[in-house]
Chain A
Amino acid sequence: MSVMTYNGAAIIAMAGKDCVGIAADRRLGVQLTTIATDFPKIFQMQPKLFVGLAGLGTDVQTLKNLLEFRMNLYKLKEERDMSPKVLSHMLGKILYSKRFGPYFVEPIVAGLDESNKPFLSTMDLIGATSEEKDFVVSGTCTGNMFGMCESLYKPNMEAEELFETLAQALLSSVDRDAVSGWGGIVHIITKEGVLTKELKGRQD
């Protein structure tokens, strides 16, 4: 039994033309039993900043609370919003601070920075960060997701096309993974706002 595959997760984030999208599956399982089909793994930290957390359910929830707390503290002290890059670095430091007793999550940060340019980053459970220009994936079926993204992705997609690409990449990836799936949720962030859509795929 691996702690990283205990609850199951699949998260993809992609960059488009002046927009980013982040998508996740909705399953909460205990190994092969499904407990719920509406478990949130993507959290809106700010109007144009989302964090996706894949891994052990309890640590997803703990880290979400911890991030919100640290973000609120930052906003009170700095009197400004946190940029995606800063959040990503802070998250990396939080994870490394537990180097020898880590949080079992592999997060994704997706958002638009102050000049509405897309920002994507991912890291492992001890905070090794990687910023990307095209797409980032995390979860129990990263092999599948990398394959789907590599073939479906085109640079500079508009919001509508980005949504389609993300949705198809996610659904096809989770269909071949036993512990992720049971629906999906997609958020597309543009400078106008956020569009959220729920996906219905194979319910197994």
Chain B
Amino acid sequence: MDTVIGVQYKDGVIIAADQANARSILIYQSNLDKIKQLTSHSAMGVSGPNCDLVQFTEYISKNLQLYELRHEGTKLSTKAQANFCRNELAVALRKGPYQVSALLGGFDLTTQKPSLYYLDYMGTLQKVPFGAQGYAQYFTLSTMDREYRENLDETAALDIIGKAIHELQSRFLIKQNNFIIKVIDQDGVRVHSQGADPADT
């Protein structure tokens, strides 16, 4: 049910996710933030049952912070972070799987390059220029295939996300009113827009 979409552009990555926290026919909450910040310059948009989302993302982000504390502030590259997540998911798969599918986006300050990784709940990892998780795949991938080019600027990338969200809102059975959109670039992770403020209790 959860929608997570991501697009890489020349100087960064944009990740968007719906804000609904629902089970069966009940919406528990409609201002959930499903794009968890991992380090100063990376974030992971996640889809799945809320318990696994929270447990997995907090476990990963705390471990990444611990690495930085232990190694005198050395930051892990986005590729390393993604592979760490993959390994945790793959090991958990045959013990007690995390039913979390993610799009991990990050900006590497050392190489000045952005990257976006598709990570499914079994631990399949692939670097992609754009991606989607959940039912959103069926609606948005073709639009993104059409519109995506190399070296997009931020406005164009946001436009693609906008088109993808528009497609979902007109054709997807489940009404997803609120989307949170985050941008990850040289300056870090920032919220571009949100349907509802996650801080409202």
Contacts and interface: CB of A to CB of B under 8 A. Distances in A.
Interface in A21-77: 28, 30, 33, 35-36, 38-39, 56-58, 61-62, 65
Contacts of B122: 56-58
Interface residues of B, number: 18
Which residue, B86, B90, B122, B131, has most C-beta atoms of chain A within 10 A?
Answer: B122
A27 to B, nearest CB: 11
A58 B128 contact: no
A56 B131 CA distance: 20
Interface string B136-160: 0110010000000000000000000
A36 B128 contact: yes
B171 interface: no
B125 interface: yes
Interface residues of A, number: 15
A62 B123 contact: yes
B126 A36 contact: yes
A28 B137 CA distance: 14
A36 B137 CA distance: 12
B89 to A, nearest CB: 8
Interface in B106-145: 118, 120, 122-126, 128, 131, 137-138, 141
A140 interface: no
Contact of B120 (A30, A38, A39, A101): A30
From DSSP, what is the main secondary structure of chain A's interface residues?
A: mixed
Contacts of B126: 28, 35-36, 38-39, 57
A58 B141 contact: no
A7 B141 contact: no
B175 interface: no
Contact of A36 (B89, B94, B118, B138): B118
Contacts of A35: 118, 126, 128, 131, 137
